[in-house]
């Protein structure tokens, strides 16, 4: 069985075990939708009162929010449990991934699915359609292709950052605390256009924790706002490249972490 087949089979099992709790699914989806609508509603009210936020209309900010959450939705469906890697290490469940004749990463990745990502996805599609209509956009096929690439890049960027932070647990035993900090950066990039912030913050979320590539930079291209970054226009096209660099980096960290784990004897 190749790794892809293995992964798909693991996901099927994970979905079946989730389906035991259908009532949870309904209330969970409603909860997530209400939360997102209220949060974005608050920002929309604020921006409408002032017509725009640093040149961004409410619909454009909704576009940013939706693009971020579309990339995030795939993460939250299939990779959310990466945040809980430290529990696998502490409880010893991680050993199961090492003694089986398959890639520990694939086994870990296929361990769980989270149905709530479906609600995120619905919010993203809804928000994107609303802003597409109200901004009177009309994209060609290349723009749509770019959108799909940007969403997938967003998923990979969030996954790799999460994985690298979770790997801290291989050395320290704990990693979850650092997650809150990254989540805060994510929230800021998700809700507000990056150009309201100062240079230090912009450099931080562009090069150190590159969450700005999940929505801000590709959105500049898709919304025709490239002039906002002037001579740095090329950043708008870089999301897929950044995602690949991050994948390579996190693969390296993962390999180091595994070596560390086996040497410590579990």
Tell me the three state secondary structure of residue 266.
Answer: coil
Is 35 an interacting residue with respect to another protein (CB under 8 A)?
yes
Residue 41 is a binding residue for another protein (CB under 8 A): yes
Query: Pick from 45, 64, 208, 58: which is nearest to 124 by CA?
Result: 64
d(C-alpha 18, C-alpha 148), whole Å:
28
Closest CA to 76 of 192, 178, 214, 255: 214
User: Per CB under 8 A, does 185 bind another protein?
Assistant: yes
Span of 124-132, 143-151, 175-183, 211-219 interacting with another protein by CB under 8 A? 175-183
Q: What's the min distance (Å) between Cβ of 40 and another protein? A: 10
Q: Which of 27, 138, 199, 264 binds another protein (CB under 8 A)?
A: 27
Cβ contact 259:265 at 8 Å: no
Q: State both tokens at 53.
A: 């936020």
Distance CA 131, CA 134 (A): 5
Tokens 């500049």 map to which residue?
220
Do 57 and 47 touch, CB atoms closer than 8 A?
yes
Least separation in angstroms between CB 216 and another protein = 14
Nearer to another protein, 53 or 152 (CB): 53
Is 90 a binder of another protein (CB under 8 A)? no
Q: Is 19 in the site for another protein (CB under 8 A)?
A: no
Residue with Cβ nearer another protein (177 or 255): 177
Residues that bind another protein (CB under 8 A): 24, 27-32, 34-36, 38-39, 41-42, 45-46, 49-50, 52-54, 174, 177-178, 180-181, 183-185, 187-188, 191-192, 196-198, 201
């Amino acid at each position: 069985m190749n790794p892809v087949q293995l992964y798909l089979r693991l996901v099927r099992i994970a979905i079946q075990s989730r389906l035991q709790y259908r009532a949870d699914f309904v209330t969970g989806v409603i909860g997530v939708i209400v939360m997102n609508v209220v949060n974005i509603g608050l920002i929309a009210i604020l921006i409408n009162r002032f017509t725009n936020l640093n040149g961004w209309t409410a619909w454009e900010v909704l576009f940013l929010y939706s693009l971020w959450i579309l990339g995030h939705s795939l993460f939250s469906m299939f990779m959310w449990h990466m945040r809980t890697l430290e529990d696998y290490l502490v409880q010893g469940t991680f050993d199961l991934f090492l003694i089986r004749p398959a890639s520990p990463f694939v086994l870990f990745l296929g361990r769980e699915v989270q149905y709530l990502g479906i609600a995120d996805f619905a919010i993203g599609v809804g928000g994107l359609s609303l802003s597409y209509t109200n901004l009177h956009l009309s994209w060609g096929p290349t723009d749509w292709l770019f959108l799909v690439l940007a969403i997938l890049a967003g998923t990979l960027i969030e996954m790799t950052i999460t994985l690298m932070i979770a790997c801290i647990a291989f050395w320290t035993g704990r990693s979850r605390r650092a997650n809150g900090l990254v989540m805060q950066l994510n929230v800021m990039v998700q809700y507000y256009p990056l150009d309201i912030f100062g240079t230090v913050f912009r450099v931080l979320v562009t090069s150190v924790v590159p969450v700005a590539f999940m929505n801000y930079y590709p959105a500049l291209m898709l919304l025709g706002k490239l002039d906002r970054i002037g001579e740095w226009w090329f950043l708008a096209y870089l999301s897929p490249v950044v995602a690949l660099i991050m994948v390579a980096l996190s693969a390296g960290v993962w390999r180091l972490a595994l070596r560390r784990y086996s040497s410590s004897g579990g």
